[in-house]
Structure 1
Amino acid sequence: MGESARGETVIDGLVLATLLPLLGFLLLTGGNAFFVAAEFALVTVDRAEIDRRAEAGDGRAGTVRRALRELSFQLSGAQLGITITALLTGYLAEPALARLFAPLLRPVAGDATDRFTPLLALVLATLVSMLVGELVPKNVALARPMPAALATAGPMRAFSRSLGWLIRGLNGSANWLVRRLGVEPQEELVSARSPDELGLLAAISAQAGALPPETAMLMRRTIRFADKRAAEAMTPRVDVVALRATATVAELLDLAQRTGRTRFPVYEETLDLVTGVVAVPDALGVPPIRRSVTSVGQIAHEPVCVPESLDLDGVLAALRAAGADLAIVVDEYGGTDGVVTVEDLVEELVGEIADEFDPAGTSETGPAEPVAPGGERALLVDGVLRADELAERTGFRLPDGPYETLGGFLMARLGRIPVAGEAVGEAGYEFTVVEVDRHRVEQVRVLRRRGDGQPWSSC
């Protein structure tokens, strides 16, 4: 009985020496998973939603918000927790797993068992720790950041505060090294985004199906609105229909009937000397008997003039302040570049709206003409499309050069004014001139080439 009791005691000791460390290994792996989930959840959680919930009285959201305000400290705490659990995991798991595998491998490996079991134990412990303690919690936190943050923020803050002295010491040392590299450490993650980043987020959201494409497009255009200048939105001088100040009201009404326009700049001698703006309602207020003897200069309103470099926010403010819906765009020399209307500004947000200043028959989208039996299509666009509009419509970005529109690009590539039927190839795209009005390219057919360099179809 004595020998049997001693044998059972030895076996019990071996079991405890193996099972207790394995239990500790599993608990430490769970702890590692907690710290990993807390770290990724704090970085990816929607701060606006956290603020909304906290303001509504959600206590756990308030805890998350406080953790976010000391994000660097909390992340350092998570890293410390991950490091501690990883070290203890290796310390406990390797010998325990080696003792567990030794009896199983000895009949096969013989004397080599003592060399193989530590390696096998290390590989298995590493795999379990990486999968259960790292990858799974990371993926869960990335997929469900809000629940993960709400679940982990409280215990995470308690852990960080309990070891605050150590975390602050480590953080201070790290910050000292970071400053030596010329970078100023940040305690809180900056949540503000630049206009370009916001536009990219809108595009990504649309691609992911989180936003309707039309809404994403409106957001991107709204973000870019203030970056655009009056010269980019105006109707160019060559398309402006104006009246001399000496023209009569009757002539104004006749011109309005022929052109379909309702507002006209009024000028002295040349269009560079605009003295006012007159509209059809002003003319209709003149008694019919007086219309043939009353000049438009007598009923014209003071013009709103804006520099071509003024941003569109400034243009809109100028129009609102004057109670006007048309402004004269002037260049740096005081000459008239064109006119810009409220409709032009709205078009920068929502796309083309056909108004009286648009050439007849034009539109932003233009028809997509069938050009091949297989159903391939070419896009018909205006030659006056700006670089940003062309990129938005076709995906083609104009190379840098002394031009602002698609028509200007074609002129630069050909070295002269194009004629209908001429084509220019660039970066996998083919641009064919469809219509030229005097010296201006009116319409262009855009065709993207196939990967083999051949066009999808001939024009």
Structure 2
Amino acid sequence: ASTLLYLKAAGPVIRVFDASANRLLRRLGIEPLEELHHGATLEELGHLIGDSHERGQLPHATAELLDHALGFSERTLAEVMVPRVDVASVRASEPASEVVGLISTYGHSHYLVIGDRVDDIVGVVGVRELMRVAPERVTRRTAGALARRPLLLPDTLPLPGAVEQMQAADEEFAVVLDEYGGLAGIVTLEDIAEELVGEIADESDLVVEWAVRDGGGWLLDAGRRVDEVAQATGVPLPEDDAFETVAGLVIDRAGRFPQAGDVIEVDLGEGAVARLEVLSLDRRVPARIRLATATATAAAGAGARVSAPAQRGAEAPAAGEPVRERMIPAPEARAGAREQQVREREGQPS
């Protein structure tokens, strides 16, 4: 219910942004810094919000809400869903009491019910279904028998369309499928609402800080989107279609699955670099990282630098403990080196 209230409160903001930009700003009590032509772009509106905030004409909370609203219609379910690897599920043949265990462990109110394979989606089961069964019968009923029909949505669906379909189906939980019909992830109305208003505290949520200050850097959940981390930390990490999360950025720049203790240096431009140290892994993918910024070194221009423990699979070094470093040049640098080696073997001048 609280999620629906958030969506109803934020909905008018989205509709207003579809109208004239100047009328929107004046309705909020803000005099536009400059007149916009009809049909202002999202980028122009973003600049207006930022300038008004910097001049003290717009409170921080309002500026943040409007900034989120600007990009809301362009985001898809693939960007906000809980990915497949993080989805907690129960097999249809298992007793319904297994769902009680999942609720105790994860604290969520809905869980995916699957068949023999994770892509064999049977339905959804949760607190609502369990409450309809007498406690003494929970162990005798299967999760599949209690499951309700799932709402299936494509991962390419824009968020406004997803909200419409979920509200029409009176459903707060949806299963997200990829283009092949396989499970891509799950999404709730709360996940979508948080794209507008930020994190929503829920009494059933397990409170976990995903970004924590650590001296001159940040301890981060590597599964967070790059744009989320950039907004939370102020570090302008590069975005790319090849990845969505910070873990994806690290893997992309390293060119392999990293080890605990690896350090990736990413050029931020204007003489600055971001250092991303892999603290822990989950299924070979970075789970926790430490992010810090530093002045660019001469080596940073050659590509991503990786510092790693001397032995493969070793734990991250303790604070102050030296590590062996090696350079992993960018792909173009590696290609250039191979061409140089060929010329040398053939006796051609470089």
Pair in the same fold by TM > 0.5: yes
Would the aligned equivalents of 2:91 and 2:116 in 1 still touch at CA under 8 Å? yes
State yes or no: 1:404 paired with 2:249: no
- What residue is the counterpart of 1:441 in the other structure? 286
SS of structure 2 residue aligned to 1:391: helix
Higher alpha-carbon Rg: 1
Classify 1:229/1:251 alpha carbon distance in 2 versus 1 (closer, same or farther; 3 Å): same
Classify 1:304/1:453 alpha carbon distance in 2 versus 1 (closer, same or farther; 3 Å): same
SS of structure 1 residue aligned to 2:229: helix
Query: In 1, distance between residues paired with 2:68 and 2:126?
Result: 30
Classify 1:342/1:361 alpha carbon distance in 2 versus 1 (closer, same or farther; 3 Å): same
Once the two structures are superposed, the pairs formed by residues 151-166 of structure 1 within 5 Å of their partners are none
Q: Which whole-Å deviations, capped at 9, do the CAs of 1:191-210 have from their partners, x for residues lacking one?
A: 43222221221111111211
State yes or no: 1:382 paired with 2:190: no
Query: In 2, distance between residues paired with 1:189 and 1:209?
Result: 20
State yes or no: 1:352 paired with 2:192: no
Which structure's residues are more often strand, by fraction? 2
Once the two structures are superposed, the pairs formed by residues 40-439 of structure 1 within 5 Å of their partners are 48=23, 190-353=37-200, 362-364=208-210, 366-370=211-215, 377-393=216-232, 394-400=234-240, 402-427=242-267, 428-439=273-284
Would the aligned equivalents of 1:369 and 1:379 in 2 still touch at CA under 8 Å? yes
Q: How big is the shift at 1:452?
A: 7.8
Structure 1 unaligned regions, length at least 5: 1-45, 53-141, 146-187, 371-376
Q: Which whole-Å deviations, capped at 9, do the CAs of 1:235-267 have from their partners, x for residues lacking one?
A: 011110111111222222123223323211111
Would the aligned equivalents of 2:237 and 2:274 in 1 still touch at CA under 8 Å? no
- What residue is the counterpart of 1:169 in the other structure? none
Which structure's residues are more often helix, by fraction? 1
Q: Which whole-Å deviations, capped at 9, do the CAs of 1:304-357 have from their partners, x for residues lacking one?
A: 111010001111111111111111010000000110111211221222346699
Identity of aligned residues (%): 33
Query: In 2, distance between residues paired with 1:446 and 1:305?
Result: 37
Classify 1:289/1:196 alpha carbon distance in 2 versus 1 (closer, same or farther; 3 Å): same
Query: In 2, distance between residues paired with 1:407 and 1:379?
Result: 15
Would the aligned equivalents of 1:352 and 1:363 in 2 still touch at CA under 8 Å? no
Structure 2 unaligned regions, length at least 5: 1-20, 268-272, 300-318, 322-350
Q: Could you say what the CA RMSD is over the residues aligned between the two structures, in angstroms?
A: 3.2
Q: How big is the shift at 1:48?
A: 4.4
Q: Which whole-Å deviations, capped at 9, do the CAs of 1:392-440 have from their partners, x for residues lacking one?
A: 2333232535222111111122222222221111122111112212222
Query: In 2, distance between residues paired with 1:273 and 1:189?
Result: 51
Which amino acid in the other structure matches residue 240 of structure 1? V
Query: In 2, distance between residues paired with 1:47 and 1:347?
Result: 26
Q: Which whole-Å deviations, capped at 9, do the CAs of 1:276-317 have from their partners, x for residues lacking one?
A: 111123112201222121112222111011101000111111
Which amino acid in the other structure matches residue 439 of structure 1? R
Query: In 2, distance between residues paired with 1:424 and 1:312?
Result: 33
Which amino acid in the other structure matches residue 267 of structure 1? I
Question: In terms of mean alpha carbon deviation, does 198-207 or 392-401 score higher?
Answer: 392-401
Query: In 2, distance between residues paired with 1:458 and 1:403?
Result: 32
Which amino acid in the other structure matches residue 287 of structure 2? E
Query: In 1, distance between residues paired with 2:177 and 2:257?
Result: 26
Query: In 2, distance between residues paired with 1:305 and 1:47?
Result: 39
SS of structure 1 residue aligned to 2:278: strand
Query: In 1, distance between residues paired with 2:203 and 2:22?
Result: 46
| Count of matched residue positions in the alignment of Structure 1 and Structure 2 | 272
TM-score when normalising by structure 2? 0.70
SS of structure 2 residue aligned to 1:285: coil
Classify 1:313/1:431 alpha carbon distance in 2 versus 1 (closer, same or farther; 3 Å): same
Which amino acid in the other structure matches residue 363 of structure 1? E
Query: In 1, distance between residues paired with 2:207 and 2:293?
Result: 24
- What residue is the counterpart of 1:60 in the other structure? none
Classify 1:419/1:261 alpha carbon distance in 2 versus 1 (closer, same or farther; 3 Å): same
Classify 1:257/1:410 alpha carbon distance in 2 versus 1 (closer, same or farther; 3 Å): same
Query: In 1, distance between residues paired with 2:195 and 2:157?
Result: 15
Query: In 2, distance between residues paired with 1:418 and 1:189?
Result: 48
Query: In 1, distance between residues paired with 2:102 and 2:320?
Result: 42
Classify 1:458/1:447 alpha carbon distance in 2 versus 1 (closer, same or farther; 3 Å): farther
Which amino acid in the other structure matches residue 210 of structure 1? Q
